[in-house]
Amino acid sequence: NAGVTQTPKFRILKIGQSMTLQCTQDMNHNYMYWYRQDPGMGLKLIYYSVGAGITDKGEVPNGYNVSRSTTEDFPLRLELAAPSQTSVYFCASSYSSLAGGPTYNEQFFGPGTRLTVL
């Protein structure tokens, strides 16, 4: 299994440009997440999905959009890039079940995408 893969690894954008960060997992996990990590800081949740067709906002969703049409893929869209979106973006996935009481298992992370907006 490849686990969680992300593309691209690096990207430089100009202010106002748009791009999509790709994330794919091959572990048949139902939950997927997007985080950003600013220098010297912990990770902050941007958006998450509990299954195909279902997404919800995290702590810092402004300026981003997501979709989840399949179990495997969870792309993150940046519209009108701004310098404040310069960060490292991590995608993660996990399997969780609500049957018989909620069970949340460990999250697995991709290698990250380093984005610079100039």
Partner 1 sequence: KQEVTQIPAALSVPEGENLVLNCSFTDSAIYNLQWFRQDPGKGLTSLLLIQSSQREQTSGRLNASLDKSSGRSTLYIAASQPGDSATYLCAVLGAQKLVFGQGTRLTINP
Residue 44 binding partner 1, by CB under 8 A: yes
Of 1, 2, 14, 41, the residue at the interface with partner 1 (CB under 8 A) is 41
Minimum CB separation of residue 37 from partner 1 in Å reads 9
Residue 31 binding partner 1, by CB under 8 A: yes
Residue 95 binding partner 1, by CB under 8 A: no
Of 13, 21, 32, 43, the residue at the interface with partner 1 (CB under 8 A) is 43
Three-state SS string over the chain comes to CCCEEEECCEEEECCCCCEEEEEEECCCCCEEEEEEECCCCCEEEEEEEEECCEEEECCCCCCEEECCCCCCECCEEECCCCHHHCEEEEEEEECEECCCCCEECCCEECCCEEEEEC
Of 30, 65, 67, 107, the residue at the interface with partner 1 (CB under 8 A) is 107
Contact residues toward partner 1 (CB under 8 A) are 31, 33, 40-45, 48, 50, 58-59, 90, 92, 96, 102-112
